[in-house]
Amino acid sequence: MYQEFQKGWIEVITGPMFAGKSEELIRRIRTLRYARKNIICFKPSIDDRYSETSIASHAGGRYKAYPIQKPEEMLNYVTEETDVVAIDEVQFFGESVIPIIDKFASRGIRVMCAGLDMDFRGEPFGVMPTLLAKAEFVTKLSASCKICGDAATRTQRIIDGKPAYYEDPVVLVGASESYEARCRKHHECPHKKQK
């Protein structure tokens, strides 16, 4: 007797900015598209840096996606025919994304998520710790440190040429004008001085 193979699972592509997370997500989507899989892609509407309606990488890769404000909106697009759900910049969604992703995977859908594992402070980012714990497969990418060229695992926020303060807001959508990839040694996030 043949065993039923598991069809649904969660996979996460993570790391700092400029590590190629979106590029890797797009690569996987294109590979699955070639295999004629029914794929639905999503991105948070807050991320309109390179495109409002596509998953877009810093390297120029693009793939059409539905921009959404709330994870619940995904339920309007995913059908019984959906084989794969791809979500870029998943760290920007609230806790309600977790049970939705779980539900999709339990229905036999391959759910591929890409997102920052840490914020600019070097702290776990939003839902990412939970998502990383629940995922069957995790790919952690690194970039190159802007200072020394070593493996960068952190995202450095820059404001007016200086490191952002720990107390600054966590979410600030931007690219190379506001962020750099840094290694542990060169990552800086000072506290504001008390007056």
Contact 116, 12 (CB under 8 A): no
What integer pLDDT is reported at residue 1 of this predicted model?
38
Tokens of 92: 């920007």
> How many helices and strands (H and E) does the chain possess?
3, 13
Token reading at 99: 């049970």
Within the chain, strands assigned E span 9-15, 39-44, 54-56, 62-64, 66-68, 84-87, 110-116, 137-140, 143-144, 151-152, 154-159, 162-163, 179-182
Cα 77 to Cα 89: distance, rounded to the nearest angstrom: 18
CA distance 132 to 104: 16
Q: How far apart are CA 82 and CA 163, in angstroms?
A: 43
Residue ranges of the chain with pLDDT lower than 70?
A: 1-6, 48-63, 172-176, 193-195
Written out in words, the top-level CATH class of the domain with range 9-141 is alpha beta
Residue 85 phi, psi (nearest 5)? -115, 125
Question: What residues are labeled active site?
Answer: 89
Both tokens assigned to 6: 């598991």
Side-chain-facing half-sphere of 75: CA atoms under 13 Å: 9
> How confident is the model at residue 170, as a pLDDT?
77
The pLDDT value given to residue 188? 94
